[in-house]
Amino acid sequence: MTHPLRFGIWALVHGPRAAHQDPEEPYDASWQRNRDLVLKAEALGFDSTLVAQHTINPHQEDLDQLEAWSAAAALAALTSRIEIITAIKPYLYHPVVLAKMALGIENISRGRFAINLVNAWNRPELERAGIGFAEHDERYAYGREWITLVSRLLQGERLTHKGRYFDVQDYALRPKDLYRARPRIYVGGESEPARALVADHGDVWFINGQPLDDVAGLIRDVAERPRNAAPPLRFGLSAFVIARPTTDEAEAAHHRLLRLAEKDAPMKAIQKANTDPKVVMMQTMQKSARVGSNGGTAAGLVGSYDEVADRIIAFYAAGIELFMLQFQPFEAEMKRFAEEVIPRVRQRQTGAGSALRDSDRRVG
């Protein structure tokens, strides 16, 4: 089955995505700014927003960090069409509590809520809270049992479960999801246990921004895995966009951000020291010079409006249905993307001779 090509934006819950010392993007991770940003995105036609979850700012701990779940609930009440995806690190919430919160926001949003299961990389966030920072694969083992419980509770099941980490007796959440079987489950993470987890328990796999051939290889690997009777897995891509009328202008804008990002070197050194070296995501991100988090410009969405539209179509043909995008300065570049790139993508999808047919797609 072919899913429509969708565009989303990263909410700015922890500051600018490319460079922190940019006069065009003063630091603002406030609720008011994120509220206005997401409402603007919805009005511009974006389909989805991703609210990252960090209890303390992962770049610099004295910087503001917007709380993801309270913000998501408020966004759910204020918006009417956009999907709201909110990240969650299993160690921070008991599965019963998290499932209850997710069902609440699902019903506030009238069926537009999703969770993004992520298994943590920022050591101090968990360690200094006294929760402890388990080893990489152990975190995934915990996350696997955790999502099994959450998924069943989200479906309204009366649950009895005794496992390695949780002991839940005769537990059912009401009201159930009033709009569908349960909120959607995304998974972000690139390691082997992340891939196994999403194939077994996810609906959509979020891939870090990287070149098309690498993304196509990752999709092939995970799409072939057994799904226990669940529908085929779907795929999203994180990317930082720099689109301009010409290639040269886009390259110049990329260089401006790369130069500014150099000023963040001390902050990045602290971040590196705080990061679990086994996290595959971080290894992927060392491969090339880029700006933006989660792969950023490594996905190659830097170029003229036509080049960026062509590359999006190529990713879609490889199986990506949701593009979760970052910009800087965010509001202005998001608007430019909506006005210049989205129409070109839609034109390519429907235009004579260049229509993307189901049969053209390598993975559905």
Smallest CA-to-CA distance from 109 within 44, 175, 179 is with 179
347/290 Cα distance (integer angstroms)? 29
Check if the beta carbon of residue 175 is closer than 8 Å to that of residue 104.
no
Asked if 166 and 192 count as a contact pair (C-beta separation under 8 A), the reply is no
Instruction: Select 188 or 296, whichever has its Cβ closest to ligand FMN.
Output: 188
Q: What is the closest distance, in whole angstroms, from the C-beta atom of residue 88 to ligand FMN in the complex? A: 8
Closer of 17 and 89 to ligand FMN (Cβ): 89
- Provide the minimum distance between the beta carbon of 255 and ligand FMN in the complex, in angstroms, as a whole number: 25
* 8-state DSSP, 159: E
Three-class secondary structure of residue 282 per DSSP: helix
Q: Is residue 96 packed enough to be buried (19+ CB in 10 Å), middle (13-18) or exposed (0-12)? A: middle
Q: Does 210 bind ligand FMN (CB under 6 A)?
A: no
Residue 201 in contact with residue 185, Cβ under 8 Å?
yes
Q: Which residue is nearest to ligand FMN (CB)?
A: 188
Residues 53-112 that bind ligand FMN (CB under 6 A): 53-54, 87, 89
Minimum CB distance to ligand FMN smaller for 17 or for 244: 17
Q: How far is the CB of 158 from ligand FMN (least distance, A)?
A: 31
Token pair, residue 238, equals 């994180």
Choice from 60, 65, 208, 210 touching ligand FMN (CB under 6 A):
208
Residues 118-157 that bind ligand FMN (CB under 6 A): 118-122
At 74, list the tokens: 């408020």
**Among residues 54 and 348, whose Cβ is nearest to ligand FMN?**
54
Binding site for ligand FMN (CB under 6 A): 52-54, 87, 89, 116, 118-122, 188-191, 194, 206, 208, 238, 279-281, 294, 324
